[in-house]
Structure 1
Amino acid sequence: MPKSSTDRPTAPDTVWLAAGRHTGPAPQNAVREHLRSLKNSERIQDFLETESASTPGGHVFEARWFVADGVTVRARLVTDGREEVDGDRHWTLAAEAERPWDLAWASPADVFWPAGSHIAWDRDAAAGLLLQDINPLPKDDAALRRLIKDSGRQSWSINVVVHEAMTPDRDGLVPLVRRLPPGLRHRVVEHRATPEQYHAVNWALGDLAASVPRGGAVILSGTPARLGYDQEDFSVRSVFLDGSEPTELLDKVLRFAALPWPLPDDAAAALTELREDWRLLTLEEELAKARAQAASYAEALDAMTKSRDLYREATELAHAALAEMEEFRDAASAVRAAAEGQERNPLTKTLQRVSDTLRARRAPRVEAQLQEARESVHRARESG
């Protein structure tokens, strides 16, 4: 059974995540040259390239740079070397800052991907739609339904569906992302339905339990849905596509972006890899890592030494208990032999009393030693 939204960890407010597609050959040369140029111009502090261990032919690029007030950003781009059926290849990008992410900061995608490149990389991963332009919805109803379903259930992006009340002129064809802060530039997909597609788009949105007002817009909840999402709060009755600022819609996109986001499994994995597989360390970070490893080794050695000492103590106690038992058996055997050999002798009762006395004195001590030995073994196992 899929996890519900409340069962999933939410994206920390320090994190920026995006997933997309690129077409054409492997892009590592273009990305590498772009990062090298940024490093030479001191726009980033450093970068590192490695091959991906999880995807054959894939590459991992790590980069570190500073934003406002000297805040450090660490980011990791992973490109998939495997070609999909449609010829596209996927990429994921996870970035984290030392303080909550400010949407006024530059998009991390612009740090890795070169502008004006021959590689078409700025497409959403779910359906291959443009991240920085308007996406007209398909005329075919089946294709429209499939695209809306993929966008609503598989995309990491913020998907905005706009219905045109009438065919807009050039001023009405300005992409929404151009009016949004830089930090949302590669995290929003804008879908456009023509005037005659009103019923068809709402038929398709029915799979997601959503609808778009005539001449308005709706922001899809995503899957899993963002916490606190309510469709009424994120619908706009009228969007004037005349070149004027769609203030209400822009405000709702910003509010939606601020909602807690329960991470899809692949997004959670990208964040975990960023934090746990990070290799681009500063000298101070390498020293701290070495010290942490040394402390961990010392702790493990200390635990092994304690475990060895506890086992040795347990062995000694067990041997002592066995010796006591052996001594007790020898004394008891001597008493029984004397009693059997002199059954009618007046000393028989006296010997029996000696046997009983030995049993009363020795047995509790042996049992105590055995119990102590068992406890020592138990402690040794727990510490080991």
Structure 2
Amino acid sequence: MPTSSTVRPMTPATVWLARGRHAEGAAEDVLRRSLEERKRSRAIDDFLELPEAGTETGTEAAPAERVFEARWRVDETVTVRARIGVTPGPDGGQEWILVAEAEQPWNDHWPSPAGLFWPKEPDVAWDRDGVAELSLREINPLPQDDKETRRLFRNAVRGGWHIHVVVHEAMTTDDRGRAPVARWLPPGLRHRVVEHRAAPQQHRGLNWALRDLKVQVPRGGAVVLPGTPAPDGYAAEDFSVRAVFLDGSEPTDLVDAVTRYAALPRPLPDGAEDALTALREDWHLLTLQEELERQRGLVAMYAEALEAMTRSRDLYREAAERAHEALAAYQESAAAAPVRQQSSDTPVASPLQQLTRTFERFKGRSSS
């Protein structure tokens, strides 16, 4: 059962998220070469490959995550920090999660973080949706079987990682009509969109498969699927496009629908909260100024701890001195005073009670 959006934290406006699967080869080698090239070309300021986490001897530990960090600037002054974690998948591939955060709310016209971490060459298979083996850069034809199509949509929209777009071809298209919609999207959206394409004869079966999601695709049109859970403010009619002309021209209405959908407030996808926490709290790629500020913060923290210890020591010493004074007074009065019957109903505080009160007063001071 999908998690309710009311109990999941929302995606911060400063954050960009993506997830995928690297189908073959060692993803860390591909990332290392790509980031080195980006640094040489000054597309990024710097990157860091974190040491692989150690495993316990004599036990079969889970495969370690390989982590790369990178930072760059957009609009000349806005710093972006990004982290990608790569883990082995169940069938030999490698799953990756990428989280980037800017100092200002994210602008989709900024470069795609996935496009900066991964190489641009189309033959490098890093761009697969790990859930349903769908492409993030190419068109995904629908299965011929309607039940399989229904299962595909049900599984694909779970988790909330990608924006799924379904386009129906009114007639069989030529090469001009085979260009994916991502080609016209702002750079920051190009690796977050999965485009499904239905052939002309699949229209009825397509809408049957979409009944669970409560959306329909107009003949020759398109729709942006709601996802599970659907973002706040989603209404199917607002993200349905009546006609998409697959003649090589820009599908402006569809681009507008995808862009508006991407701007809706949405819960963090499944697994994104841990990745975002790691980016914010376990960041290693520091500038010299950031390292200096970090060391200053540690010095201030240690100084505060030392001051607290000194203050506690002084309080205990003061309490011990007063306790000794009270004890001496008690011993002196006990030796000098004769034993006699108490004649008054009003109790008189003994030196022992005074000693107890001394400790109680100290306890109150130390707790405050």
TM-score calculated relative to the size of structure 2: 0.87
CA–CA separation in structure 1 for the residues paired with 2:173 and 2:271: 38
Residue 10 of structure 1: aligned partner: 10
| Number of positions where the alignment pairs a residue of Structure 1 with one of Structure 2 | 361
CA–CA separation in structure 2 for the residues paired with 1:90 and 1:197: 32
Matches within 5 A, 1:194-343: 194-317=199-322, 334-336=338-340
Q: 1:71 pairs with 62, 74, 78, which one?
A: 78
Q: Which runs of 5+ in 2 are unaligned?
A: 55-61
TM-superposition CA deviations, 1:128-178 (whole Å, max 9, x none): 211111111111233222211121113411111122233223222210000
SS in 2 for 1:160: strand
| Matching residue's letter, 1:208 | L
Q: 1:224 to 1:316 in 2, by over 3 A?
A: farther
* Percent pairwise identity: 56
- Contact 2:167–2:197, Cα closer than 8 Å, also in 1: yes
Larger radius of gyration: 1
- Contact 1:163–1:193, Cα closer than 8 Å, also in 2: yes
SS in 2 for 1:154: coil
CA–CA separation in structure 2 for the residues paired with 1:78 and 1:306: 45
- Contact 1:314–1:377, Cα closer than 8 Å, also in 2: no
Shift of 1:188: 0.5
SS in 2 for 1:91: strand
Q: Which runs of 5+ in 1 are unaligned?
A: 337-351
Residue 111 of structure 2: aligned partner: 106
Q: 1:148 pairs with 153, 159, 166, which one?
A: 153
- Contact 1:175–1:190, Cα closer than 8 Å, also in 2: yes
Shift of 1:317: 4.9
- Contact 1:126–1:154, Cα closer than 8 Å, also in 2: no
Q: Aligned pair 1:362/2:366, yes or no?
A: no
SS in 1 for 2:265: coil
Residue 21 of structure 1: aligned partner: 21
| Matching residue's letter, 1:10 | M
SS in 2 for 1:5: coil
Residue 59 of structure 2: aligned partner: none
- Contact 2:160–2:269, Cα closer than 8 Å, also in 1: no
- Contact 1:124–1:155, Cα closer than 8 Å, also in 2: no
CA–CA separation in structure 2 for the residues paired with 1:7 and 1:227: 13
Greater Cα shift, 120-129 or 281-290: 120-129
Q: 1:114 to 1:244 in 2, by over 3 A?
A: closer
Shift of 1:57: 4.5
Residue 83 of structure 1: aligned partner: 89
- Contact 1:198–1:214, Cα closer than 8 Å, also in 2: yes
TM-superposition CA deviations, 1:70-122 (whole Å, max 9, x none): 32221111111x2323x331111111222222222211112111122753001
| Matching residue's letter, 1:40 | R
Q: Aligned pair 1:121/2:126, yes or no?
A: yes
SS in 2 for 1:145: helix
CA–CA separation in structure 1 for the residues paired with 2:282 and 2:204: 48
Q: 1:321 to 1:228 in 2, by over 3 A?
A: farther
- Contact 1:165–1:195, Cα closer than 8 Å, also in 2: yes
Structure with greater proportional helix content: 1
Q: 1:56 pairs with 38, 49, 63, which one?
A: 63
Q: 1:123 to 1:170 in 2, by over 3 A?
A: same
Residue 34 of structure 1: aligned partner: 34
Shift of 1:323: 5.8
TM-superposition CA deviations, 1:21-49 (whole Å, max 9, x none): 11112122222122212222323211111
